[in-house]
Structure 1
């Protein structure tokens, strides 16, 4: 290992790297051979994995963050009307067929490439519905109340007073999976005076670049906002995300995507002293109590499986004393959800649940739609209780785990142990049962029916940046729905009316 003054210029295979105070990892031969002067190495403090950031990827991220830092300062001199105009201009361009045509074309190319690699395209496709939702979200931000400098509390004293005022947080770094609509959702941070830097995965990079070129950048220019207010790191490399989240000029790091990738990004950001908001592992749990209404239960299951997103039903627990009449309802709901999507569903049953499923159900074959095509698979397969935390990622065929418990309390204990502590629903007619469930289940989102209500736009009429689980613990001073208007800090301003005020 050689050094320029204060700078790492090479690595040696087997070289020990100390991290976490008392842990050691080693440089692999592959990393040692690939490392060049100007590159950087980041240690994932969770796993000890060494993350290689080539100089070019670091430079791309650093340039984007630098522009966002400059734009944040310049944004304070822009009027509220200019910010409103930005959202209107952005929406207008997405709504204009001529401007949208190259964006749609780029999205089709991304979809074809993803399919060729056997990748899922359910969240990648910029459909007419997604386009309309993006436009509606941007219109919503345009009409939202401005809160860049809002008085939230005033404390009066003799001869003076103190105001607590909401203020912009700074630069937000945002790494997300291939969902083009996130552009519109996350641009909401500008409403509260923040700037944002995006990094998107390889599947949707072409779509994202087309949105920037044909809608975003022209909207910034037309409204007179600084060019770095919203920007995209032009790289699909994972290293670009690591570089972005290790830049301590960020005030907040937001990550959406698969659980392990999001956890790693969060660890990188935390190690750099950056506050994080992670939106990775999902999957809702539902519990049918002994007094559950059968029809309500069936409808709740069915409409919690209408599509695969983070708030989709993942695990269902039925109390044993109701298994005989609720089990057929559950199977019917899975069938209906699959039929609605033109495919068959899949049930992963624990031993306790399998014992209550009739032979004609357990021996069925399902026509299952996956990213790489349609497959004939068992409709029911046995699943281990210890694996209840697994989140099913499905395409057209709904997949859900089924378990039978002795009580609601047992289901709550399993949920708190195995789930990402995210969404929980109880089907019961008892107010006392619901109160106990709410008090004991460790989840930020708790309901009494379908789980798919958990959504910023649907529930709060505010486009969301992401939904947070409690896998990493409860969050200080904020809800599980992160929206553009919840990215702020608080400043204090004193007003002294008594010139001789002293202590």
Structure 2
């Protein structure tokens, strides 16, 4: 059936739904294939990316030129840009994923029941995974490869600003996949550049098993609010660092600056620092000096403003909007709290549930903080920047989930699977 053609039981389907139906058929073919076949396809993708880098870059240049003409910021243009060197790095990442353990078929648990039935819970692919993401064409390859490795078909809906790049990348990947013996429709670009195509994808319940949005808060909230397909919520990081009364000051300064300034535009960068009042007099001047040196603007409460005035550093007044903001820039909200419980209360009010950190030499305080803070990752005497699939040893990640069902925190290959129960008997019947 061609895109937009009439189905046997009703009116014409849209190109998006036809694409999703093809993905569903491909997922059925893909699921039983052994690891050797899927890994062979990934190696073919890596080789094809390098061999066809020229046509990928040529397509990418068109996207970059359009972005610059539209006045897009230099940072976004940089994320959009592909070069032969960057493509080679993407291909290298694909080869690294090949070496990761295959989650499909892993026995999560098993036992022999009292009557002799053998029970196993095994990992199986989710089926069809839809990825909705913004102007980062490297995600096109990352998502495709991670889904194929875990036995899933994937529908890719990147932003219109990267449409030419994504079209070229998907063409390369599909050719490699087909040559390796996998159904080409296991990897598809969702047709269309309008928001209507996104809405149709979000409504393709029964054809698409799960959607994973990757991007800014607006994109994620739109998908979460409007999708009838189950969604794994990812990414938004209103991240906190709490400096406890018994913190090592040198350690606290180093962790704070690394959490905020090492790479401020990512979801695991700190956006708020809270300091116990018992250590504030000693800590604030040192923190202000280090943050200022790192180019960070502090939006602080009265205590931070007084410390700034004494040190000759401008501290902007903090507002409720600041406490709620994921800056993704060299800005940080800052406050002084009377105790650990007050810090936890603040975090519970404003956190997005991504990552929080405590700096303390008090083991009891650390345990209490860990037990009370309800986020996907909690750091004790470590930078928030460690919340990352690669840093956790997962090898790769499809995103960082901030919800609680199915997956939470960095999502590696196992999080792209579900499970089924396999029960084996010998003529057993239930009385």
**TM-score, normalised on structure 1?**
0.76
8 Å contact 1:347–1:399 — kept in the other structure? yes
Task: For 2:353 and 2:390, locate their aligned partners in 1 and report how far apart those are by CA, in whole Å.
Answer: 21
* 2:140 aligned counterpart, secondary structure: helix
1:467 CA drift (Å): 0.6
1:347 equivalent in alignment to 2:303: no
- Matched positions, count: 413
Aligned residue number for residue 415 of structure 2: 486
1:391-430 to structure 2, matched below 5 A, reads: 391-394=326-329, 398-430=330-362
More strand by share: 1
1:413 CA drift (Å): 0.8
Aligned residue number for residue 117 of structure 1: 70
**Aligned match of 2:266 in 285, 292, 309?**
309
CA 1:247 to 1:303, structure 2 compared with 1: closer, same or farther past 3 Å?
same
**Aligned match of 2:105 in 124, 149, 170?**
149
Summarize deviations over 1:316-358 as a string: whole Å, max 9, x none.
11222322332232223323433xxxxxx32222334212212
Task: For 1:430 and 1:131, locate their aligned partners in 2 and report how far apart those are by CA, in whole Å.
Answer: 47
Task: For 2:194 and 2:94, locate their aligned partners in 1 and report how far apart those are by CA, in whole Å.
Answer: 28
CA 1:154 to 1:77, structure 2 compared with 1: closer, same or farther past 3 Å?
closer
1:79-478 to structure 2, matched below 5 A, reads: 79-94=34-49, 96=50, 98-120=51-73, 121=76, 122-126=78-82, 131=87, 134-157=90-113, 158-187=115-144, 188-213=146-171, 215-248=172-205, 249-269=207-227, 272=228, 274-304=229-259, 305-307=261-263, 308-338=265-295, 345-358=296-309, 361-363=312-314, 380-385=315-320, 387-394=322-329, 398-447=330-379, 448-470=381-403, 475-478=404-407
CA 1:125 to 1:287, structure 2 compared with 1: closer, same or farther past 3 Å?
farther
Task: For 2:258 and 2:54, locate their aligned partners in 1 and report how far apart those are by CA, in whole Å.
Answer: 34
More helix by share: 2
Task: For 1:117 and 1:383, locate their aligned partners in 2 and report how far apart those are by CA, in whole Å.
Answer: 33
* 1:144 aligned counterpart, secondary structure: coil
Q: CA RMSD in A?
A: 2.5
CA 1:124 to 1:333, structure 2 compared with 1: closer, same or farther past 3 Å?
farther
Task: For 2:58 and 2:292, locate their aligned partners in 1 and report how far apart those are by CA, in whole Å.
Answer: 36
* 2:137 aligned counterpart, secondary structure: coil
Aligned residue number for residue 18 of structure 2: 63
Summarize deviations over 1:434-489 as a string: whole Å, max 9, x none.
1011011121111122111111122223311111224xxxx135332222332222
**TM-score, normalised on structure 2?**
0.88
CA 1:147 to 1:443, structure 2 compared with 1: closer, same or farther past 3 Å?
closer
1:65 CA drift (Å): 0.7
Aligned residue number for residue 8 of structure 2: none
